[in-house]
Amino acid sequence: MRTQVGIVGAGPAGLTLARLLEVAGIESVVLEARDREYCEHRVRAGVLEQGTVDLLREAGVGERMEREGIVHGGIHLQFDGERHHVPMHELTGRNIVIYGQTEVVKDLIAARIESGLPLLFEVGDVRVDPDTARIEFVHDAEQQVLECDVIAGCDGFHGVCRPSIPADVLETFEREYAFGWLGILAQVAPSMDELVYAHNTRGFALLSLRSPELSRYYVQVRHDEDIAAWPDERIWEELHARTELDDWQLEEGPILEKGVTGMRSFVAQPMQYKKLYLAGDAAHIVPPTGAKGLNLAISDVRILAERLIEGSGLDGYSDACLRRVWRAEHFSYWMTTMLHKLEDGDAFDEQLQLSQLRYVTSSQSAKTSLAENYVGLTTL
Ligand code: FAD
Ligand code: DHB
């Protein structure tokens, strides 16, 4: 088999890249380790920046998102028993759109299949060679070879592409956090109008949503927390305790799904080596507090697609991505450490966090800075 761009991984990065290339008439083959069902039901991110929304729309895969996506012009930060609104649209002219990563992936897979273009699920034993842009893999119990002009490594944090770059070429930066998020999807109308990021002495909580009937809520837990220790009643109890206000109550509903995600910050650079280009989680991870993971993945492949389509400037791909990546790394780290209960934090840390939260919710310029980062309006 031969193609122009061999894409490893059918997450948001790989599928979006394939679509952008298709629109420009560039051939690609997408190879995915898991089955379609698994890819379409892996509950993850939910916040799309305006830039992500615009790109998906321009690529002709935004129709359902336009109909079902929920536009929000602000978020709330809650601490010390009070909720403070950050009016992002008023401050930046930009909105965010709530539309699940599962839905983005479903739309992209459907479009790819409708176009009749190659997307192979359940491939095994994938080996990439950055020198030759040759990919070996097993599909339908047969050994296959895909010869490419370039390889796009979109295979997430645990993929095979990043490890195929020699260790002495790659510089990595990492921070692990002692905490993680326990996330639930609940069949109940969201109790709030916009997202609530709540700092509480019992730990952080986040109130989000997926639709007018589906709420997505998170509580801070230990990074290796055993989900079995969290029966539904305990989750609701913690959510109530961390988010309740004198005049506001959280509505409960059946929990459809729950899971724990550990947190890390990670960057590997450069994001390219010979004929291999990394994009999305394959190259970098942010803790989820800034809602940046999915948006960064899309931003990488937008840059990669532009350079592949123009046929020049691939050398500058990594540098072009990393400026935005590091900005998002800082913002995500800052949001995370401002809002969570810190592992070895003492009363001094708590006072610093509260002071920072008071500043961010009262100073017009600090509020604007948070909003610009959150909506992805940082031009670097
Ligand atoms: P992925 O979505 O990881 O896609 C990579 C794809 O490559 C997968 O389909 C995988 O099966 C496939 N693959 C792996 N290895 C191979 C191989 N050898 N061969 C072929 N295919 C392979 N971000 C937020 O902003 N908010 C959140 O709430 C949030 N929650 C998250 C929860 C979890 C459990 C995780 C892991 C991430 C979460 N993120 C969140 C981050 C966000 O979902 C990611 O940043 C986003 O999925 C990145 O997209 P991607 O396409 O780069 O990688
Ligand atoms: C969601 C996830 C996030 O990481 C975040 O910061 C906001 C919302 C969500 O899953 O809805």
Please state the length of the chain.
Answer: 380
Q: Say if strands 205-211 and 214-222 run parallel, antiparallel, or are unpaired.
A: antiparallel
Report the candidate in 211, 213, 184 with the shortest Cα–Cα distance to residue 69. 211
Q: Say if strands 119-120 and 28-31 run parallel, antiparallel, or are unpaired.
A: parallel
pLDDT band at 238 (very low <50, low <70, confident <90, very high): very high
Tens digit of each residue's pLDDT (9 = 90 or more) over 170-208? 999 999 999 999 999 999 999 999 999 999 999 999 999
What amino acid is encoded at 273 in this protein? Y
CA distances from 57 to 64, 66, 104, 107, 375 (A): 10, 8, 11, 11, 17
% of the chain surpassing 70 pLDDT: 99
pLDDT band at 109 (very low <50, low <70, confident <90, very high): very high
C-beta separation of 258 from 283 below 8 A: no
Q: Please, which residues bridge with residue 184 across strands?
A: 217, 258
254 is written with which tokens? 């059946």
Asked about 72 being catalytic, the answer comes back as yes
**Ligand 2 within 6 A of CB of 91:** no
Look up the pTM and report it: 0.97
Report the candidate in 320, 326, 78 with the shortest Cα–Cα distance to residue 199. 78
**Ligand 1 within 6 A of CB of 101:** yes
Q: Ligand 2 mean position to 100 CA, how many Å?
A: 9
**Ligand 2 within 6 A of CB of 16:** no
Catalytic residue among 72, 76, 275, 284: 72
Give mean pLDDT, residues 106-122: 98
CA distances from 371 to 23, 83, 221 (A): 32, 16, 26
